[in-house]
Protein backbone atom coordinates (compact mmCIF):
# COMPACT_ATOMS: atom_id res chain seq x y z
CA UNK A 1 0.00 0.00 0.00
CA UNK A 2 1.23 3.49 -0.84
CA UNK A 3 -0.29 6.17 1.32
CA UNK A 4 -1.34 9.56 0.03
CA UNK A 5 0.68 11.50 2.60
CA UNK A 6 -1.15 14.73 1.76
CA UNK A 7 -4.13 13.24 3.61
CA UNK A 8 -2.15 12.96 6.83
CA UNK A 9 0.59 15.55 6.94
CA UNK A 10 0.01 18.92 8.60
CA UNK A 11 1.61 21.47 6.33
CA UNK A 12 3.63 24.07 8.24
CA UNK A 13 1.60 27.20 8.93
CA UNK A 14 -1.74 25.58 8.11
CA UNK A 15 -4.83 25.62 10.31
CA UNK A 16 -5.89 22.32 11.87
CA UNK A 17 -9.50 21.27 12.39
CA UNK A 18 -9.56 17.70 13.62
CA UNK A 19 -13.22 17.29 12.70
CA UNK A 20 -12.10 17.56 9.07
CA UNK A 21 -10.00 14.40 9.45
CA UNK A 22 -11.91 11.10 9.20
CA UNK A 23 -10.98 8.95 12.21
CA UNK A 24 -12.36 5.86 10.44
CA UNK A 25 -10.44 6.28 7.18
CA UNK A 26 -8.68 3.10 6.05
CA UNK A 27 -7.61 3.80 2.42
CA UNK A 28 -9.81 0.94 1.23
CA UNK A 29 -7.79 -1.53 3.26
CA UNK A 30 -9.70 -4.45 4.76
CA UNK A 31 -8.77 -5.98 8.08
CA UNK A 32 -8.06 -9.37 6.52
CA UNK A 33 -5.28 -7.72 4.49
CA UNK A 34 -3.77 -6.23 7.61
CA UNK A 35 -1.33 -9.06 8.23
CA UNK A 36 0.18 -8.86 4.74
CA UNK A 37 0.54 -5.07 4.66
CA UNK A 38 1.88 -4.87 8.20
CA UNK A 39 4.28 -7.76 7.64
CA UNK A 40 5.65 -6.06 4.51
CA UNK A 41 6.40 -2.94 6.56
CA UNK A 42 7.94 -4.95 9.39
CA UNK A 43 10.28 -6.74 6.98
CA UNK A 44 11.26 -3.53 5.19
CA UNK A 45 11.83 -1.76 8.50
CA UNK A 46 14.16 -4.55 9.64
CA UNK A 47 16.31 -4.20 6.51
CA UNK A 48 16.39 -0.41 6.72
CA UNK A 49 17.16 -0.46 10.44
CA UNK A 50 20.27 -2.59 9.93
CA UNK A 51 21.53 -0.17 7.29
CA UNK A 52 20.57 2.80 9.48
CA UNK A 53 22.57 1.36 12.36
CA UNK A 54 25.58 0.56 10.18
CA UNK A 55 25.52 3.99 8.51
CA UNK A 56 25.79 5.64 11.96
CA UNK A 57 25.26 9.23 10.77
CA UNK A 58 21.65 9.74 11.84
CA UNK A 59 19.38 8.95 14.75
CA UNK A 60 15.58 8.82 14.59
CA UNK A 61 13.05 10.06 17.13
CA UNK A 62 9.48 8.81 16.70
CA UNK A 63 6.91 10.73 18.75
CA UNK A 64 3.48 9.22 19.40
CA UNK A 65 0.76 11.44 20.86
CA UNK A 66 -2.89 10.50 21.22
CA UNK A 67 -5.96 10.46 23.46
CA UNK A 68 -6.24 7.59 25.93
CA UNK A 69 -6.96 4.17 24.35
CA UNK A 70 -5.92 5.32 20.86
CA UNK A 71 -3.58 2.34 20.43
CA UNK A 72 -0.07 3.70 20.96
CA UNK A 73 1.18 0.63 22.85
CA UNK A 74 -0.29 -1.79 20.33
CA UNK A 75 1.18 0.14 17.43
CA UNK A 76 4.64 0.05 19.01
CA UNK A 77 4.33 -3.68 19.72
CA UNK A 78 3.23 -4.58 16.18
CA UNK A 79 5.09 -2.15 13.94
CA UNK A 80 8.42 -2.48 15.76
CA UNK A 81 8.25 -6.24 16.30
CA UNK A 82 10.91 -7.00 13.69
CA UNK A 83 13.50 -4.48 14.85
CA UNK A 84 16.78 -5.34 16.53
CA UNK A 85 16.35 -4.31 20.19
CA UNK A 86 20.04 -3.34 20.35
CA UNK A 87 19.28 -0.26 18.25
CA UNK A 88 15.71 0.56 19.22
CA UNK A 89 14.31 1.90 22.52
CA UNK A 90 10.94 3.02 23.86
CA UNK A 91 10.33 5.63 26.55
CA UNK A 92 6.85 5.90 28.06
CA UNK A 93 6.60 9.11 30.04
CA UNK A 94 4.58 9.42 33.23
CA UNK A 95 4.21 12.34 35.65
CA UNK A 96 7.61 14.01 36.20
CA UNK A 97 9.64 13.15 39.28
CA UNK A 98 10.87 15.69 41.83
CA UNK A 99 14.31 15.71 40.19
CA UNK A 100 12.74 16.28 36.77
CA UNK A 101 10.60 19.13 38.09
CA UNK A 102 13.76 20.80 39.38
CA UNK A 103 14.91 21.13 35.75
CA UNK A 104 13.22 22.71 32.75
CA UNK A 105 10.51 20.59 31.16
CA UNK A 106 12.68 19.52 28.20
CA UNK A 107 15.50 18.16 30.37
CA UNK A 108 14.16 14.65 30.92
CA UNK A 109 13.46 14.27 27.21
CA UNK A 110 16.79 15.64 26.09
CA UNK A 111 18.71 13.04 28.10
CA UNK A 112 16.63 10.27 26.48
CA UNK A 113 17.41 11.29 22.90
CA UNK A 114 18.81 8.56 20.63
CA UNK A 115 22.47 8.33 19.75
CA UNK A 116 23.53 7.88 16.13
CA UNK A 117 22.24 4.66 14.64
CA UNK A 118 19.44 4.39 17.21
CA UNK A 119 15.67 4.60 16.74
CA UNK A 120 13.95 6.05 19.81
CA UNK A 121 10.18 6.04 20.40
CA UNK A 122 8.64 8.54 22.78
CA UNK A 123 5.28 7.15 23.95
CA UNK A 124 3.93 10.56 24.92
CA UNK A 125 6.63 13.20 24.97
CA UNK A 126 7.62 16.80 25.63
CA UNK A 127 4.32 17.70 23.96
CA UNK A 128 2.48 16.81 27.16
CA UNK A 129 3.77 20.20 28.34
CA UNK A 130 1.48 21.95 25.85
CA UNK A 131 -1.34 19.38 26.11
CA UNK A 132 -2.08 17.96 29.58
CA UNK A 133 -0.42 20.96 31.19
CA UNK A 134 -2.32 23.42 29.04
CA UNK A 135 -5.68 21.78 29.72
CA UNK A 136 -4.74 21.55 33.42
CA UNK A 137 -2.60 24.67 34.02
CA UNK A 138 -2.53 23.99 37.74
CA UNK A 139 0.16 21.40 36.91
CA UNK A 140 2.50 24.32 36.24
CA UNK A 141 2.57 25.13 39.94
CA UNK A 142 4.88 22.12 40.48
CA UNK A 143 7.45 23.58 38.07
CA UNK A 144 8.23 26.73 40.12
CA UNK A 145 8.61 28.86 36.99
CA UNK A 146 9.56 32.48 37.74
CA UNK A 147 6.57 34.77 37.22
CA UNK A 148 4.05 31.90 37.05
CA UNK A 149 2.70 31.81 40.59
CA UNK A 150 -0.89 30.99 39.60
CA UNK A 151 -2.47 29.06 36.71
CA UNK A 152 -3.97 32.30 35.39
CA UNK A 153 -0.49 33.68 34.70
CA UNK A 154 -0.06 31.08 31.92
CA UNK A 155 -1.44 33.33 29.19
CA UNK A 156 -1.29 33.13 25.39
CA UNK A 157 2.22 34.61 25.37
CA UNK A 158 3.39 31.89 27.77
CA UNK A 159 2.11 29.06 25.56
CA UNK A 160 3.44 30.64 22.36
CA UNK A 161 6.85 30.78 24.01
CA UNK A 162 6.60 27.07 24.82
CA UNK A 163 5.76 26.24 21.21
CA UNK A 164 8.77 28.28 20.13
CA UNK A 165 11.01 26.51 22.66
CA UNK A 166 9.88 23.11 21.35
CA UNK A 167 10.46 24.16 17.74
CA UNK A 168 13.96 25.40 18.60
CA UNK A 169 14.72 22.17 20.48
CA UNK A 170 13.63 20.02 17.53
CA UNK A 171 15.43 22.23 15.01
CA UNK A 172 18.64 21.90 17.02
CA UNK A 173 18.55 18.09 17.17
CA UNK A 174 17.50 17.87 13.49
CA UNK A 175 20.49 19.98 12.45
CA UNK A 176 22.70 17.59 14.40
CA UNK A 177 21.44 14.44 12.71
CA UNK A 178 18.23 13.40 14.48
CA UNK A 179 15.31 12.82 12.12
CA UNK A 180 11.96 13.41 13.82
CA UNK A 181 8.71 11.60 12.97
CA UNK A 182 5.69 12.99 14.84
CA UNK A 183 2.45 11.00 14.72
CA UNK A 184 -0.88 11.94 16.24
CA UNK A 185 -3.31 9.01 16.47
CA UNK A 186 -6.72 10.56 15.78
CA UNK A 187 -9.41 8.66 17.68
CA UNK A 188 -13.13 9.45 17.77
CA UNK A 189 -14.88 9.99 21.08
CA UNK A 190 -17.29 7.14 20.27
CA UNK A 191 -14.47 4.67 19.59
CA UNK A 192 -12.67 5.72 22.76
CA UNK A 193 -15.84 4.95 24.73
CA UNK A 194 -15.98 1.43 23.25
CA UNK A 195 -12.34 0.77 24.08
CA UNK A 196 -12.66 2.06 27.64
CA UNK A 197 -15.76 -0.10 28.15
CA UNK A 198 -13.80 -3.10 26.86
CA UNK A 199 -11.17 -2.42 29.52
CA UNK A 200 -13.89 -2.47 32.15
CA UNK A 201 -15.85 -5.44 30.80
CA UNK A 202 -12.96 -7.78 29.97
CA UNK A 203 -11.15 -8.98 33.08
CA UNK A 204 -7.81 -9.40 31.33
CA UNK A 205 -7.98 -5.73 30.28
CA UNK A 206 -8.92 -4.29 33.68
CA UNK A 207 -5.30 -3.42 34.42
CA UNK A 208 -5.29 -1.00 31.48
CA UNK A 209 -8.06 1.12 32.94
CA UNK A 210 -7.38 4.19 35.06
CA UNK A 211 -9.91 6.59 36.54
CA UNK A 212 -7.69 9.34 35.12
CA UNK A 213 -8.90 8.25 31.67
CA UNK A 214 -12.38 9.45 32.56
CA UNK A 215 -11.03 12.74 33.92
CA UNK A 216 -9.33 13.39 30.59
CA UNK A 217 -12.40 12.27 28.65
CA UNK A 218 -14.50 14.83 30.57
CA UNK A 219 -12.25 17.47 29.00
CA UNK A 220 -12.45 16.03 25.50
CA UNK A 221 -13.17 19.35 23.76
CA UNK A 222 -10.37 21.15 25.60
CA UNK A 223 -7.91 18.44 24.59
CA UNK A 224 -9.06 18.52 20.96
CA UNK A 225 -8.44 22.27 20.88
CA UNK A 226 -5.01 21.77 22.48
CA UNK A 227 -4.09 19.12 19.88
CA UNK A 228 -5.12 21.43 17.06
CA UNK A 229 -3.10 24.38 18.33
CA UNK A 230 -0.11 22.14 19.12
CA UNK A 231 0.03 20.90 15.52
CA UNK A 232 -0.59 24.35 14.04
CA UNK A 233 2.28 25.82 16.04
CA UNK A 234 4.81 22.97 15.83
CA UNK A 235 4.41 21.27 12.45
CA UNK A 236 7.58 22.33 10.66
CA UNK A 237 9.51 21.44 7.51
CA UNK A 238 12.08 19.54 9.59
CA UNK A 239 9.53 17.91 11.93
CA UNK A 240 5.99 17.78 10.49
CA UNK A 241 3.00 16.23 12.21
CA UNK A 242 1.04 13.32 10.72
CA UNK A 243 -2.62 12.89 11.68
CA UNK A 244 -3.23 9.14 11.43
CA UNK A 245 -6.83 7.84 11.67
CA UNK A 246 -7.00 5.49 14.67
CA UNK A 247 -10.54 4.10 14.86
CA UNK A 248 -9.34 1.04 12.93
CA UNK A 249 -6.26 -0.24 14.71
CA UNK A 250 -5.10 -2.34 11.76
CA UNK A 251 -4.97 0.69 9.47
CA UNK A 252 -3.18 2.90 12.02
CA UNK A 253 -0.46 0.26 12.39
CA UNK A 254 0.01 -0.05 8.64
CA UNK A 255 0.10 3.74 8.22
CA UNK A 256 2.64 4.25 11.00
CA UNK A 257 4.89 1.57 9.53
CA UNK A 258 4.77 3.12 6.07
CA UNK A 259 5.47 6.63 7.37
CA UNK A 260 8.59 5.41 9.19
CA UNK A 261 9.76 3.40 6.16
CA UNK A 262 9.42 6.45 3.91
CA UNK A 263 11.43 8.62 6.29
CA UNK A 264 14.24 6.05 6.45
CA UNK A 265 14.30 5.74 2.66
CA UNK A 266 14.93 9.48 2.30
CA UNK A 267 18.26 9.26 4.11
CA UNK A 268 20.45 7.72 1.39
CA UNK A 269 21.82 5.22 3.87
CA UNK A 270 25.17 3.55 3.15
CA UNK A 271 27.03 0.62 4.62
CA UNK A 272 30.57 1.52 5.82
CA UNK A 273 33.34 0.82 3.33
CA UNK A 274 35.04 -1.78 5.53
CA UNK A 275 38.33 -3.40 4.61
CA UNK A 276 39.62 -3.63 1.01
CA UNK A 277 38.88 -6.64 -1.16
CA UNK A 278 42.55 -7.62 -0.95
CA UNK A 279 42.48 -7.59 2.85
CA UNK A 280 39.27 -9.60 2.88
CA UNK A 281 40.74 -12.18 0.50
CA UNK A 282 43.86 -12.46 2.67
CA UNK A 283 41.74 -13.02 5.78
CA UNK A 284 39.73 -15.67 3.96
CA UNK A 285 42.88 -17.49 2.89
CA UNK A 286 44.23 -17.42 6.46
CA UNK A 287 41.02 -19.00 7.76
CA UNK A 288 40.93 -21.62 5.01
CA UNK A 289 44.57 -22.59 5.63
CA UNK A 290 44.18 -23.07 9.37
CA UNK A 291 45.27 -26.53 10.52
DSSP letters of 104-163?
-TTHHHHTTPPPTT-EEEEES-GGGGGTHHHHSGGGGGGT--TT--SGGG--HHHHHHHH
Q: Which of 143, 168, 166, 164 is nearest to 153 (CA)?
A: 143
179 beta partners: 60
Sheet of 178-186: strand order equals 9-10, 241-245, 178-186, 59-65, 119-123, 88-92
Give the number of other CB atoms < 10 A from CB of residue 162: 21
pLDDT of residue 35: 61
Report domain extents, the chain.
5-288
DSSP letters of 5-33?
GGGTEE-TT----GGGS-TT--TT--GGG
Distances (CA, A) of 67 to 71, 124, 228, 246: 9, 10, 13, 10
Give CA–CA dist 290/158, Å, rounded: 71
Give CA–CA dist 180/171, Å, rounded: 10
Beta carbons of 159 and 134 less than 8 angstroms apart = yes
Give CA–CA dist 6/81, Å, rounded: 27
Distance from CA of residue 144 to its chain's centroid?
28
Q: What is the distance between the terminal CA atoms of the chain, rounded to a whole angstrom?
A: 54
Q: Quick: pLDDT tens for 256-266.
A: 999 999 999 99
Q: Which of 243, 223, 182, 225 is nearest to 23 (CA)?
A: 243
125-129's contacts with Cβ under 8 Å and 24+ in sequence apart are 125/63, 125/64, 125/65, 125/93, 126/166, 126/169, 127/63, 127/65, 127/166, 127/230, 127/234, 128/93, 129/105, 129/162, 129/166
Residues 6+ apart with CB under 8 A from 188: 23, 24, 247
Over the chain (291 residues), the average pLDDT of each successive run of 10 is 80 95 88 69 90 95 96 89 85 94 97 96 96 97 96 97 98 98 97 94 84 90 98 98 95 91 93 77 86 69
Q: Quick: pLDDT tens for 272-287.
A: 876 677 787 888 888 8
Give CA–CA dist 175/265, Å, rounded: 18
* CATH 3.40.50.300, domain 5-288, yes or no: yes
pLDDT of residue 262: 93
Phi and psi angles of residue 181, each rounded to the nearest 5 degrees, phi first: -120, 115
Enter the pTM of the model.
0.91
Q: Quick: pLDDT tens for 2-61.
A: 777 778 999 999 999 999 999 999 888 877 555 677 778 888 999 999 999 999 999 999
Amino acid sequence: MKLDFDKFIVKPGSKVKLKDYDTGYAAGLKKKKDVKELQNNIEELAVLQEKFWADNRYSMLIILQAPDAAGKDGAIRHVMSGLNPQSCRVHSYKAPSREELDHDYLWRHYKDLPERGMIEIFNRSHYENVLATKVNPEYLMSENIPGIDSPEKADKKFWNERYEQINNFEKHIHQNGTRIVKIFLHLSKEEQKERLLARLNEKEKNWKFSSDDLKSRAKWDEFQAAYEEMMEKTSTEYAPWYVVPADKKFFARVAIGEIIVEHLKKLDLQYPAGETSGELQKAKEMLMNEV
